[in-house]
Amino acid sequence: MADPKGFLTTSRQTPARRPVDVRIMDWREVYLEFGAGQVERQAGRCMDCGIPFCHSGCPLGNLIPEWNDLVHSGDWRAAAERLHATNNFPEFTGRLCPAPCESACVLGISSDPVTIKQVEVEIIDRAWAEGWVPPRRPSQTAQAAGRRVAVIGSGPAGLAAAQQLTRAGHAVTVFERADAPGGLLRYGIPEFKMEKRHLDRRLIQMLAEGTEFRCGIEAGVDVTAADLQRDYAAIVLAGGATVPRALAVAGADLDGIHQAMEYLPLANRAVAAADGAGGGRAGDGRRAKARRGSPAAAKSGRPELNGSRVNGHLDQSYRELGHRELGHRELGQRENGQRDSGPGAAIDATARAGVLPDSGAVPDSGAVPPSGAVPPSGAVSETAISACGRHVVIIGGGDTGADCLGTAHRQGAASVTQLEILPRPPDGRPEGQPWPVHPAIFRVSSAHEEGGTRVYAVSTQRFVGDENGRVRALVLVEVEPSGGGFRPVPGTERELPCDLVLLAMGFTGAERGPLMTDLGVEFDKRGNVARDGTFATSVPGVFVAGDMGRGQSLIVWAIAEGRSAAAEVDAYLCGDTALPAAIKPTAVPLR
């Protein structure tokens, strides 16, 4: 505890957001820089609480008091080492996690909690800038004892499992049906929440460590379940909970009504293309079907593998990825202009071929925005589903809804209304959700700060279309809790004009596609892939991690599941394991 009185003398402070009228004109992250001195003072607020409940609030078991103390003492490199001891991707969680660790902070009982999330992201950003995040290759002994493992899906759970297993010496291949790895991190999370350079440099690190990525390959279709079981000693299913919750009301089939995960990926691809980073290809992995008739596929008898194993000569710094961003110093460059050059600090540019997305324009969708509508970010191409000039209604008040909200602002929406069936949450912690539970309180995200109207305790009854079959309005009614559900309030029905509706109501479970059918895995009553206490499914050698087994959850839980499943896979293959396991499959958030 570097500052015994820090929690008494220093008030909580977080970085300011860029002005709304400035940031909605671009897609960059919204927060201004936070000076190192400010971060060190904030870390000094961490008190010697004896029993740090923040460990329990975070499923990863992050060593929060330890790296807070190291930051306050100025030992940032040691802090980065302690941070990586429990978390493969702190640059993701530090930007995207809602920080249940802060809700469990002991200081939060009587004061504002420590800014844990901000300290975390500042540690890892500095570690990357200083060159303290080299690839960690397994030893030759570990590689000799390793087995072949297939990971299906490259979201946070799949990436965490793959990195852990690669570092343990196994030959890991990640299959991703999209054209580039990352899952929702790439095509679901908007750039203004996490710039994709953070994802790309982790992928480059994983490539340098030996993880193989095969993109544009749909497991169960382009490579069969039988192929996977024959060629790999273990399979980790990490495809997420991707079945969206539908809204079964009249008019739901009208044009202009879309699931959030139809809308957000198109916007992310357009932004990536404009940024020169890629994402311009409209395929979602099913484009691989068109390749089956190619000469290479015919010759081999199997589909072409876009992004197959990439080795190359490691002669270009993997930290040099991401130079295109504005306002950030070159990755891997020290303050004094010198650069680390340790072993493994480089990767050949050819290693990125077929793994990271190509640059290119978004194909012309033929979509015509309303007359006079001009998107504020002129360099970003119009997408097939665009909010430009539209009156947008978002159904769902969670994080995905907020992502749609911020995206609609940047596309130039005429108006945006966000609907939520639940009542407005209280401003402070409710009695039924005492410390250290992560409470449901009224929160204002950066997207909400930028505009739009939030309407609570309403339910959509039906959609109304125009003469062309496009939605022109929805009819809603106010509701009140009743018997575990909701009932309409008589006399409150009204019409809300709109010509674009985005459904952000969550997900109901894992897809039951060809891979699941052919493997023969069982599902639980919630629509998730069933598993035992070792993350193993009903099929020997097949494991499941992340939302595919847990159901829709937070990124920090996905990473914790990926790490823990990797430990169980390693033990299954080798008889025992030295890999850490953060949680059991039955673990739940504090409640």
d(CA 41, CA 72): 6
Q: What is the CATH number of the domain that holds 550?
A: 3.50.50.60
Q: Are residues 205 and 329 in the same domain?
A: yes
Domain assignment present for 251:
no
Q: Are residues 114 and 152 in the same domain?
A: no
From residue 377, give the alpha-carbon distance in Å to each of 328, 435, 441, 460: 20, 43, 33, 32
Per DSSP, the residues of 307-358 read: T--------S-GGGTTTTSTT-PPTTB-TTS-B---TT----GGGGTTTSPP
Which tokens hold the place of 139? 């030893």
Instruction: Tell me what pLDDT residue 307 has.
Output: 37
Per DSSP, the residues of 416-451 read: EEEEESSPPPPSS--TTS-TTS--------HHHHT-
What 8-state DSSP symbol labels residue 572? H
Q: Are residues 91 and 219 in the same domain?
A: no
Q: Per-block average pLDDT, block size 10, for the chain (591 residues)?
A: 84 97 96 95 93 94 96 97 98 97 96 97 98 96 94 98 98 97 97 97 98 98 98 98 96 98 96 66 30 33 33 33 31 32 34 50 38 49 92 97 98 98 96 95 97 98 98 98 95 98 97 97 97 98 98 97 98 97 95 84
The angle formed by the CA atoms of residues 242, 365 and 177, to the nearest 5 degrees, is 30
pTM: 0.86
Q: Are residues 218 and 329 in the same domain?
A: yes
Q: Are residues 123 and 172 in the same domain?
A: no
Q: Of 505, 536, 569, which one is at a domain's C-terminal end? A: 505
Q: What is the CATH number of the domain that holds 93?
A: 1.10.1060.10
What values do phi and psi take at 424, rounded to 5? -60, 130
Q: Are residues 407 and 466 in the same domain?
A: yes
Q: Are residues 37 and 88 in the same domain?
A: yes
Q: How many folded domains does the chain comprise?
A: 3
Q: Are residues 263 and 385 in the same domain?
A: yes
What values do phi and psi take at 144, rounded to 5? -65, -30
d(CA 144, CA 33): 45
What values do phi and psi take at 67, rounded to 5? -75, -20
Q: Of 505, 532, 554, which one is at a domain's C-terminal end? A: 505
Which tokens hold the place of 492? 């409150």
Q: Are residues 28 and 118 in the same domain?
A: yes
Q: Are residues 194 and 332 in the same domain?
A: yes
Amino acid at 63: L
Nearest to 195 by CA among 334, 95, 88: 95
Domain assignment present for 169:
yes
d(CA 234, CA 389): 50
Q: Of 505, 524, 558, which one is at a domain's C-terminal end? A: 505
Instruction: Tell me what pLDDT residue 290 has.
Output: 33
Q: Are residues 55 and 83 in the same domain?
A: yes
Domain assignment present for 111:
yes
Instruction: Tell me what pLDDT residue 360 has.
Output: 40
Domain assignment present for 123:
yes
Domain assignment present for 367:
no
Domain assignment present for 365:
no
Q: Are residues 180 and 302 in the same domain?
A: yes
Q: Which range of residues forms the domain containing residue 444?
A: 257-272+373-505
Q: At how many degrees (to 10) do helices 555-574 and 156-167 cross?
A: 30
Domain assignment present for 156:
yes
Domain assignment present for 467:
yes
